[in-house]
Amino acid sequence: MIGFLLGEALRDLRRAGRVAASAIVLISLSLVAVGAFWVLSFNLGRAVTEWRERVRVIVYLRREVPPAEVPALLRRVAALPDVASARYVSKAEALASLKRVLGKDAAVAEQLPSNPLPASIEVTPTAAGATPGAAHALIERLASLPEAEEVAGGVEWVERLAQWQRLLATIGLGIGGVLALAAILTVTTSTTLVLHFRREETEIMRLVGAPEIAVRLPLLLQGLVQGLVGAGLALAVLLAGHRLAAPRLEPLINLTVGLPSLDFLTPPAMLTILCAGAVLGAFGGMLARGRRAAT
Amino acid sequence: MIEFHRVSKVYEVGPVKVPALADVSFRIGKGEFVVVSGPSGAGKTTLLRLLYGEEPPTEGDVEVLGQPIARLSRSRIQTLRRSVGVVFQDAKLLPGRTVYENIAFVLRVTGTPRREITARAFDALRAVGLSSRAQAYPAQLSQGEAQRAALARAIVRKQPLLIADEPTGNLDEEMAAEVLAIIKDIWARGTTVILATHQARLAAALGRRKLVLEGGRLVKDEGG
């Protein structure tokens, strides 16, 4: 019987014509909006994660620590809260690093009468320590070490990136939500229209004792089909948009947030969009049923 | 099979109460052919609507196929209706479906196995002499043919009870005679038939048990 009822739902969709098509388009638009912001937010999230992992706090030391004392100092630093790891960088290593950065201009460093660079400890905070508040507290703790001359490092800009990511996700959900509401109302309208078209069928079904599910299921299936078609279209549009835009945007994204590529939605995210479409459609169909029951 | 015990039905239209049936009692046994007659507005249609659970009685008890209509849930009424065939003055065929599809539709929505549908639909069409018109659409049928298709739909599940509300009301004499002959044939095969008509001549010609209603009251029960 399910096959027959699905056939009835498709027949009803054809009857609803333009209204059903409008509902599909609106579902697509709402999911394209959500999906597009999801792609942006997802990629910004990747950048935030990557940058959080790269956050370092540098403790510049007053003097070079004798090699025998380095392990004890590192153990003391590693024991502080929110410290994931600590690495000692001697004056010589710092100079070598500078020369690597200078590249062909490294000869400039050779001209120096002595090595002016201080020894330092490179501290990697834990994930919890990479938030602005925690990082600030960590910097204060490191600055109170007797060996510390100065502490540098901050995570505010990473947090600003994370705020952008949250803002994008919220905007996407907001626009998608408004469009989804419109889509639900359109599905409800198209299903109500179908209810009007099929009032004779419904009358006969009730007269001959068809179970209630046989009367109502086509409405639900109709909405579900509209939702799935809308979601499928939305994914196709998003994929095409990504294929077109990604190669053009990737150099800019690489330069600004350091991501090598602009990734598309993951399979679970695509499945979520399909399910969201189905739920939107089915909900619209159910609302029409409720209206009918109320009358 | 059917029992009405002191049944009254009052329709409420806003503040106005319109009595349709008043204190009606009768019993109908299995296999009877009962004609419900009376002038327009006598309460015939209301009586039939109570029989297939479209309306609950305001007072009294209605029992159909052993089921107390007033106490049945919506789903139990739907189940009961699967044992009751109903035809109306207008055939109520679905315009976008062929005669065969109209009949198969009833079987499909009531959960008949797919493999049985064609055979059962054609059995019903043969019983009303309409198998050659199976692929015709309602708009292509004469009124008599449309009413025969409606009868086929009403008996396709081999329902033990057939309720016909003015089935010949829109037909000329010849077509009416054809339809009545088919209804008699259905009755002769064991189906209980309750037929409502306002045509006194027709009621007399059928020569069966007659329930006569006037102003919502049962004024005559003869031939039972």
Q: Which CATH code is given to the segment(s) B2-92+159-222?
A: 3.40.50.300
| Assigned token pair, B89 | 């003055």
Q: Decide if pLDDT at A138 tops 60.
A: yes
> In the sheet where A148-152 sits, what is the strand order?
A83-89, A120-125, A57-61, A148-152
Of residues A133 and A29, more confidence is placed in: A29
What pLDDT shows up at residue B14? 83
| Assigned token pair, A101 | 């950065």
State the amino acid at position B98 in one-letter form. Answer: T
Q: Within the 83-102 window of chain B, which residues sit less than 8 Å (CB to CB) from chain A?
A: 83-84, 86, 92, 94-95
Give the torsion through C-alpha atoms of A186, A191, A197, A200, to 10 deg: -160
What pLDDT shows up at residue A290? 47
Q: Within the 177-216 window of chain A, which residues sit less than 8 Å (CB to CB) from chain B?
A: 200-201, 203-212, 214
Q: State what percent of residues in chain B have pLDDT above 90.
A: 58
Of B79, B105, B153, nearest to A209 by CB-CB distance is: B79
Strand, coil or helix: what is A121?
A: strand
Query: CB distance A210–B74 less than 8 Å?
Result: no
Mark whether A34 and A166 lie in a shared domain: yes
Q: Residue A155: pLDDT band by 50, 70, 90 thresholds?
A: low
What pLDDT shows up at residue B43? 92
Q: Decide if pLDDT at A158 tops 70.
A: no
Mark whether A89 and A226 lie in a shared domain: no
Mean pLDDT calculated for residue range A28-48: 84
Tell me how far apart the alpha carbons of residues A210 and A38 are, in angstroms, rounded to a whole number: 44
Q: Decide if pLDDT at A291 tops 60.
A: no
What pLDDT shows up at residue A293? 41
Mark whether A31 and A69 lie in a shared domain: no
Name A262's Cβ contacts closer than 8 Å, sequence gap at least 6: A39, A43, A242, A245, A246, A249, A250, A253
**Residue A181, domain extent:** 2-51+158-294
How many Cβ atoms from other residues are within 10 Å of residue B39's Cβ? Answer: 12
Query: CB distance A211–B157 less than 8 Å?
Result: no
What pLDDT shows up at residue A154? 62
Q: What angle do CA B60, B62, B66 make, to 5 degrees?
A: 140
Query: H/E/C letters for each residue in chain B?
Result: CEEEEEEEEEEEECCEEEEEEEEEEEEECCCCEEEEECCCCCCHHHHHHHHCCCCCCCEEEEEECCEEHHHCCHHHHHHHHCCEEEECCCCCCCCCCCHHHHHHHHHHHCCCCHHHHHHHHHHHHHHCCCHHHCCCCHHHCCHHHHHHHHHHHHHCCCCCEEEEECCCCCCCHHHHHHHHHHHHHHHHCCCEEEEEECCHHHHHHHCCEEEEEECCEEEEEECC
Residues of A in contact with B82 (CB under 8 A): 208-209
What pLDDT shows up at residue A156? 65
Mark whether A23 and A121 lie in a shared domain: no
| Domain end residue (candidates: A88, A123, A154) | A154
Residues of A in contact with B94 (CB under 8 A): 200-201, 204
For residues A135-146, one letter each, b for 16 or more C-beta atoms within 10 angstroms of the residue's C-beta and e for the rest, the string is beebbebbeebe
Indicate the DSSP class of residue A58.
E
What pLDDT shows up at residue A292? 44
Q: Which pTM was predicted? A: 0.67
- Indicate the average pLDDT of chain A: 83
Mean pLDDT calculated for residue range A85-90: 92
CB pairs under 8 A between A and B: 50
Residues of B in contact with A210 (CB under 8 A): 78, 109-110
At A115, which CATH number? 3.30.70.3040
Mark whether A71 and A204 lie in a shared domain: no
Task: Assess contact for A83 and A125: CB atoms under 8 A.
Answer: yes
| Assigned token pair, B199 | 């045509």
Q: State what percent of residues in chain A have pLDDT above 70.
A: 95
Choose among B187, B182, B147: nearest CA to B166: B147
Of A201, A204, A212, nearest to B78 by CB-CB distance is: A212
Residue spans of the domains in chain B: they are: 2-92+159-222
Mark whether A163 and A25 lie in a shared domain: yes
Mark whether A13 and A122 lie in a shared domain: no
> In the sheet where B59-64 sits, what is the strand order?
B16-28, B2-13, B59-64, B67-68
Computed from CA positions of residues A188, A191, A195, A197, in that sequence, does the dihedral angle turn out positive or negative?
A: positive
Indicate the DSSP class of residue A5.
H
Least confident of A65-69, A159-163, B100-104: A159-163
On whether any CB of chain A is under 8 Å from the CB of B105, the answer is yes
Taking only the tens place, the pLDDT of each residue in A178-195 is: 877 887 787 787 778 777
ipTM score for this prediction: 0.84
Tell me how far apart the alpha carbons of residues B152 and B136 are, in angstroms, rounded to a whole number: 14
Residue showing tokens 């600004």: A256
Q: Checking DSSP bridges between strand B59-64 and strand A57-61, what pairing results, if any? A: unpaired
Structurally, how many domains does chain A consist of? 2
Mark whether A7 and A47 lie in a shared domain: yes
Phi/psi of residue B141, nearest 5 degrees: -100, 150
Of residues A211 and A183, more confidence is placed in: A211
Mark whether A38 and A63 lie in a shared domain: no
Give the torsion through C-alpha atoms of A183, A184, A190, A193, to 10 deg: -150
Task: Assess contact for B125 and B134: CB atoms under 8 A.
Answer: yes
Mark whether A121 and A198 lie in a shared domain: no
Task: Annotate A130-193 with DSSP letters as a single string.
Answer: GSHHHHHHHHHHHHTSTTEEEEE---HHHHHHHHHHHHHHHHHHHHHHHHHHHHHHHHHHHHHH
What pLDDT shows up at residue B178? 87
| Domain end residue (candidates: A138, A154, A170) | A154
Mark whether A238 and A261 lie in a shared domain: yes
Taking only the tens place, the pLDDT of each residue in B155-176 is: 998 889 999 998 888 888 888 8
- Indicate the average pLDDT of chain B: 90
Name A168's Cβ contacts closer than 8 Å, sequence gap at least 6: A37, A40, A41, A44
| Assigned token pair, B150 | 């409606």
| Assigned token pair, A290 | 């409720």
C-alpha of A282 from chain center: 26
Mark whether A103 and A233 lie in a shared domain: no
| Assigned token pair, A215 | 């009367």
What pLDDT shows up at residue B104? 94
Q: What is the CA radius of gyration of chain B?
A: 17
For residues B54-70, one letter each, b for 16 or more C-beta atoms within 10 angstroms of the residue's C-beta and e for the rest, the string is bbebbebebbbbeeebb
> For residue B49, what is the nearest residue in chain A, using CA coordinates?
A207
| Domain end residue (candidates: A126, A154, A182) | A154
Choose among A172, A193, A8: nearest CA to B108: A8
The number of residues in chain A equals: 295
Taking only the tens place, the pLDDT of each residue in A231-261 is: 999 999 999 999 999 888 888 888 777 788 8
Task: Assess contact for A192 and B66: CB atoms under 8 A.
Answer: no
Of B75, B83, B95, nearest to A212 by CB-CB distance is: B75
